[in-house]
Structure 1
Amino acid sequence: MVRPEACPALVLNADYRPLSYYPLSIWSWQDAIKAVFLDRVNIVSSYDKTVRSPSFEMRLPSVVSLKTYVQPSRNPAFTRFNVFLRDRFTCQYCGSRDDLTFDHLIPRSKGGQTTWENVVTACSPCNLRKSDLLPRDAGMWPHQPPFSPSIHDLHQNGRLFPPNYLHESWMDYLYWDTELEP
């Protein structure tokens, strides 16, 4: 019996690029096999492990590609997670990676909006220190000005935070457009 969390399959779009990098687009082995039987994916690579029934045996897919191209979203959703990802999970004031929240550059009490251009990742101590002050009044400026990221920006940052599990068969599809060492 194969454990449900074992042997996930990397899911590629029809152009052989991952559907997403962060979170990495993976399916459980059960979902991958179901998609194979429904003729929705091609098996690109397989694990050495097999699943069996009385009349059937199949190696578990490690990489599958969709048969139909899925158009990626043009604009990422404005979520707390995506703000953290844009800012590389780093406080924009002190560089800490612990106890993260977000801060409004122009505080809401002073008319600031909750938008890509006004929100940055901050650790709780910096957020408390800045309080409801403007950056110039607090003497606290973000390392990079906040901006509305593209899907590409988030994918690039997502590559910096690989998941705990990366099977060797996935490497050619995750980092195929990075510069090679001579």
Structure 2
Amino acid sequence: MTLAVSPGAHPALVLNADYRPLAYYPLSLWAWQDAVKAVFLDRVNIVSEYDITVRSPSSEFRLPSVVSLKSYVKPSRHPAFTRFNVFLRDRFQCQYCGSREELTFDHLVPRSKGGQTTWDNVITACSPCNLRKANKSCADIGMWPMHLPFPPTVQDLHNNGRLFPPNYLHESWLDFLYWDTELEP
């Protein structure tokens, strides 16, 4: 089937050379134009294709739906300390009340009392809980997090990322995204 293909349609799932996604959240996707370019530059292998073709004046090409890198990219061992990664570690929920709304982060030991902005001292909190706790310690106000903060591994973040699948999952991606989950009998 040949159609006019819009720029945002038909993204390709990008797998490392070991056929694992480069990332789960956000899912490692390339626009179809980038995937086609990588194929022509011989940087990827086509693993699966859409039933959609694009044409140039001299050729026709089926759009890749899954590509794997030819060279293995070693994942970082230690994730960057970012607001997003704190939220992902804490599964996008307030560690005090469980809310998923108005998320921010809170210092267990307040900065005004010498607390550092580190993996071991920062948790996800909703705005109401963060305002309620203010610059007090957990013991002072009697608010305790559901889980103590910790420096996550890349695997921890990947595992949590799998809990939040994107809005669009093409059927050709499923074997590569959830290959290590338990199968139903």
Under a length normalisation based on structure 1, what TM-score does the superposition of the two structures give?
A: 0.99
- Within the candidate set 145, 149, 157, 1:146 is matched to 149
Aligned residue number for residue 65 of structure 1: 68
Q: CA deviation at 1:156?
A: 0.1
Aligned CA-pair RMSD: 0.4
Aligned residue number for residue 131 of structure 1: 134
Q: Distance in 2 between matches of 1:35 and 1:138?
A: 55
Aligned residue number for residue 16 of structure 2: 13
Aligned residue number for residue 43 of structure 1: 46
Aligned residue number for residue 179 of structure 2: 176
Aligned residue number for residue 110 of structure 2: 107
- Establish whether residue 90 from structure 1 lines up as the match of residue 93 from structure 2: yes
- Within the candidate set 162, 166, 169, 1:166 is matched to 169
One-letter amino acid of the counterpart of residue 92, structure 1:
Q
Q: Distance in 1 between matches of 2:7 and 2:90?
A: 33
Gaps of 5+ in 2: none
Q: CA deviation at 1:41?
A: 0.2
Q: CA deviation at 1:158?
A: 0.1
Gaps of 5+ in 1: none
Percent of aligned pairs with the same residue? 79
| Count of aligned positions | 182
Q: C-alpha deviations, 1:57-80, integer Å up to 9, x for none?
A: 011000000000000000000000
Q: C-alpha deviations, 1:76-107, integer Å up to 9, x for none?
A: 00000000000000000000000000000000
One-letter amino acid of the counterpart of residue 131, structure 1:
A
Q: CA deviation at 1:138?
A: 1.0
Under a length normalisation based on structure 2, what TM-score does the superposition of the two structures give?
A: 0.98
Aligned residue number for residue 34 of structure 1: 37
Matched residue SS, 2:19: coil
